[in-house]
């Protein structure tokens, strides 16, 4: 996803760009946390980034790298970062083939920049 011109909370810009730099990863929503969150926003000290994955070898390899990067953070040791999968029913709720596999990267009381730094290094290695 081209993030130019899209408003992204300042504390997660680097993380969103790091995810999008991986082959087959396309972010579609995010929140960096807010002191007074409104409906659909994360609270202070929390963040989330949702993304789709191209369902091919490159996409699955990137998913593996994201999980590996999470495991390299100190926050993972405390369970403060987690990766979840969910299904968007797509355009036809009655047709399971229309469903879209989505992923959510969620963190609490941790610095998303640490994970972003690891992802940036991995993205460079993928292009070498």
More confident residue, 121 or 83: 83
Q: Is residue 100 part of a domain?
A: yes
- Indicate whether 90 pLDDT > 90: no
Orientation angle between helical segments 112-127 and 57-71, nearest 10 degrees: 140
Q: Is residue 65 part of a domain?
A: yes
Q: Is residue 36 part of a domain?
A: yes
Give the pLDDT score at 48: 96
| CATH number assigned to the domain comprising residue 77 | 3.30.1360
Give the pLDDT score at 126: 63
**Given pLDDT bands bounded at 50, 70 and 90, which one contains residue 1?**
low
Q: Give the CA angle between residues 85, 23, 118 to the nearest 5°.
A: 80
Give the pLDDT score at 22: 92
Encoded tokens for 41: 């926003």
Q: Range of 43's domain?
A: 10-127
Which pTM does this prediction carry?
0.85
Distance CA 2, CA 101 (A): 20
**SS3 of residue 101 by DSSP:** strand
pLDDT digits (tens, 9 = 90+) for 94-115: 877 777 889 999 999 999 999 9
Q: In 59-108, where do the E strands start and end?
A: 81-88, 100-108
Q: Is residue 1 part of a domain?
A: no
pLDDT digits (tens, 9 = 90+) for 16-74: 999 999 999 999 999 999 988 888 888 899 999 999 998 899 999 999 999 999 998 88
Give the pLDDT score at 121: 85
Edge to edge, the sheet with strand 46-53 lists: 25-31, 46-53, 100-108, 81-88
Number of separate domains in the chain: 1
């Amino acid at each position: 996803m081209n993030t130019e011109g899209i408003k992204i909370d300042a504390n997660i810009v680097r993380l969103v760009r790091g995810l999008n730099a991986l082959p087959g990863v396309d972010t579609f929503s995010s929140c960096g946390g807010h002191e007074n969150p409104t409906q659909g926003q994360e609270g202070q000290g929390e963040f989330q980034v949702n993304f789709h994955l191209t369902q091919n070898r490159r996409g699955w390899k990137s998913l593996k790298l994201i999980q590996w990067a999470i495991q390299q953070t100190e926050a993972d040791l405390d369970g403060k970062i987690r990766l979840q999968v969910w299904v968007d029913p797509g355009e036809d709720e009655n047709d399971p083939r229309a469903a879209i596999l989505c992923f959510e990267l969620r963190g609490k009381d941790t610095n998303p920049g640490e994970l972003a730094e690891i992802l940036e290094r991995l993205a460079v290695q993928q292009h070498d």
